[in-house]
Amino acid sequence: MSAVTVTGVLLCRVGAEQLAFDANQVGHIGAWEPGGQPTAHARSLFLMPSAAGKQLTSEAESLVVDSLEVHAEPLPRLPVPLALASVTGGALLGFVQVAGVLWPLYGLAALARHVRQHLEVELS
């Protein structure tokens, strides 16, 4: 089976954790401050309190991360083991390797939805 290539990845950092999104799934990047519009925050996944960061917005969902950078080079997407396919509600799409470091690649809308649905208490 041939590997799927991803061109344009947003490498995001949440605390010491790291996430990756397909740049084509992000419609707009904005700033988010505590006390602003309620939205899903990636820090909730790691049981960390919310903090100021960048708000990634897709068509219907948005997710806040601490910081991010754009990786323009095409990267091969590594497949997701079956044991992990449903861990985050099916949001995990695979892995990309950048400079020897393996980044989990998520679908922005699915992850944002997962955070909003399963961590509603924390969001409210």
Nearer to other proteins, 68 or 91 (CB): 68
Q: Please check whether residue 10 is in contact with residue 106, taking contact to mean a CB–CB distance below 8 angstroms.
A: no
Cα 18 to Cα 66: distance, rounded to the nearest angstrom: 10
In the complex, what is the shortest distance from the CB of residue 30 to other proteins, in angstroms, rounded to a whole number?
Answer: 7
Angle at 61 between CA 39 and CA 19, to 5 degrees: 80
Query: What single DSSP character describes residue 63?
Result: E
In the complex, what is the shortest distance from the CB of residue 87 to other proteins, in angstroms, rounded to a whole number?
Answer: 27
Judged by the rule CB under 8 A, the positions of this chain that interact with other proteins are 7-8, 10, 23-24, 26, 28-31, 54, 68, 70, 72
In the complex, what is the shortest distance from the CB of residue 24 to other proteins, in angstroms, rounded to a whole number?
Answer: 6
Please tell me the total number of residues recorded for the chain in this structure. 124
